[in-house]
Amino acid sequence: MNERACRVCKRLIEEGNECDVCKSNDLTTNWKGVIVVFSPDSEIAKKAGIAVPGKYALQVM
């Protein structure tokens, strides 16, 4: 896995050096687990505080 996770919102970034969601460039390869959010209204998105659909790390070190 060479995707990087945003340290601010945990979004997984496949390309570039900036988070698509919060525009942070604080990315890390040191993360574990994946959450895929299809809808911000879903239970899992609400629990994780995710407002934009996509792939997120479960845990960022």
Rg (CA), the chain: 11
Please name the helix (run of DSSP H) or strand (run of DSSP E) that holds residue 47, with its range, or none: helix 43-48
With contacts defined by CB under 5 A, name the span among 7-15, 27-35, 37-45, 53-61 that binds Zn ion: 7-15
User: Does residue 21 belong to the site contacting Zn ion (CB under 5 A)?
Assistant: yes
DSSP E strands, the chain: 4-6, 12-13, 27-28, 31-37, 54-60
Show contacts with Zn ion in window 26-55 (CB under 5 A).
none
Q: Which of 5, 9, 12, 57 is close enough to bind Zn ion by CB under 5 A?
A: 9
Binding site for Zn ion (CB under 5 A): 6, 8-9, 11, 19, 21-22, 24
